[in-house]
């Protein structure tokens, strides 16, 4: 007897499910190789964009939007929070032989990141999936910025702690972020791929470039990036959550 998903899920859904698996692997690897874990999260972000392209090309399924948000919980909520946790605890030399104030503080902030990311994903699926704008920083963007910062060597623990804490608010803020045009998404995708493939090239040029692009979009796009099609007639099959 075949599993019940046979014939019900499409190629885009398979990529989405692979995205979730990448998030789990990144969590496991984070305790052994933080750079590799960051690269896996960035790879999951590429998969998150690819499933939308495949859904538009080959057609989506009713389960697609739900699978997308569930996968994002693993790859862009739990995995980046674990990366931040490892970087911060290592940087501050926080041990695990006793429950200390420092350990509780770091755990609380990283746990809050997961909680706000899940909240943002639920709100996106309920209210924003059919538009070209969304409220709050996308979980994919937050994870990309954290991953790119780690690959670029920006792992000062106070900085990572502050950025992680800031995302806890930014992901559930009312700031409106427009979806990227295809040409801009393609440029971002190329830099993204190069940051994964050759992160150490020319003094970590590509991770720094990806980090710069991510911060520029986060800080400038709500005011300087205009789209005329803010409410398209047909909903996006997989959006940028």
Helix (H, G, I), strand (E, B) or coil at 212: helix
Q: What is the pTM of this model?
A: 0.91
Q: Give the mean pLDDT of 207-215.
A: 97
Query: What was the pLDDT predicted at 182?
Result: 84
Query: What was the pLDDT predicted at 44?
Result: 97
Helix (H, G, I), strand (E, B) or coil at 141: helix
DSSP 8-state assignment for residue 208: H
The span from the CA of 189 to the CA of 186, in Å, is 5
Distance (Å) of CA 19 to CA 24, 42, 137, 142, 221: 9, 10, 20, 16, 26
Q: How confident is the model at residue 65 (pLDDT cuts 50, 70, 90)?
A: confident
Query: What was the pLDDT predicted at 236?
Result: 45
Half-sphere exposure for 172 (CA within 13 Å, toward CB): 15
Q: In this model, does residue 15 exceed pLDDT 50?
A: yes
Please say whether the beta carbons of 44 and 19 come within 8 A. Answer: yes
Phi/psi of residue 135, nearest 5 degrees: -95, 135
DSSP 8-state assignment for residue 61: -
Q: In this model, does residue 129 exceed pLDDT 80?
A: no
Q: pLDDT digit string (tens) for 147-188?
A: 999 999 999 999 999 999 999 999 999 999 998 888 888 999
What is the end-to-end Cα distance of the chain in Å, rounded? Answer: 35
The span from the CA of 104 to the CA of 99, in Å, is 7
Q: pLDDT digit string (tens) for 193-207?
A: 999 999 999 999 999
Written as six digits, the tokens of 49 are: 């964009």
């Amino acid at each position: 007897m075949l599993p019940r998903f046979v014939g019900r899920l499409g190629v885009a859904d398979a990529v989405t499910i692979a995205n979730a698996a990448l998030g789990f692997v990144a969590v496991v690897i984070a305790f052994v190789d933080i750079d590799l874990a960051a690269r896996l999260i960035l790879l999951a972000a590429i998969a998150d964009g690819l499933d939308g392209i495949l859904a538009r090309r080959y057609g989506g399924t009713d389960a697609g939007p739900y699978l997308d948000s569930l996968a994002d919980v693993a790859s862009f909520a739990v995995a980046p929070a674990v990366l931040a946790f490892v970087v911060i605890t290592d940087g501050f030399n926080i041990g695990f032989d006793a429950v200390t104030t420092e350990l509780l503080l770091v755990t609380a902030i990283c746990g809050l990141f997961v909680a706000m990311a899940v909240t943002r994903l639920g709100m996106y699926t309920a209210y924003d999936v059919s538009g070209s704008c969304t409220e709050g920083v996308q979980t994919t963007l937050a994870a990309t910025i954290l991953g790119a910062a780690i690959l670029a060597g920006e792992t000062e623990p106070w900085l990572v702690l502050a950025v992680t804490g800031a995302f806890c608010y930014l992901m559930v803020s009312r700031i409106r972020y427009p979806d990227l045009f295809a040409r801009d998404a393609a440029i971002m995708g190329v830099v993204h791929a190069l940051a994964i493939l050759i992160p150490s090239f020319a003094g970590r040029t590509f991770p720094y470039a990806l980090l710069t692009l991510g911060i520029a979009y986060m800080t400038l796009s709500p005011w300087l990036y205009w789209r005329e099609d803010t409410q398209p007639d047909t909903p996006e099959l997989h959006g940028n959550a």
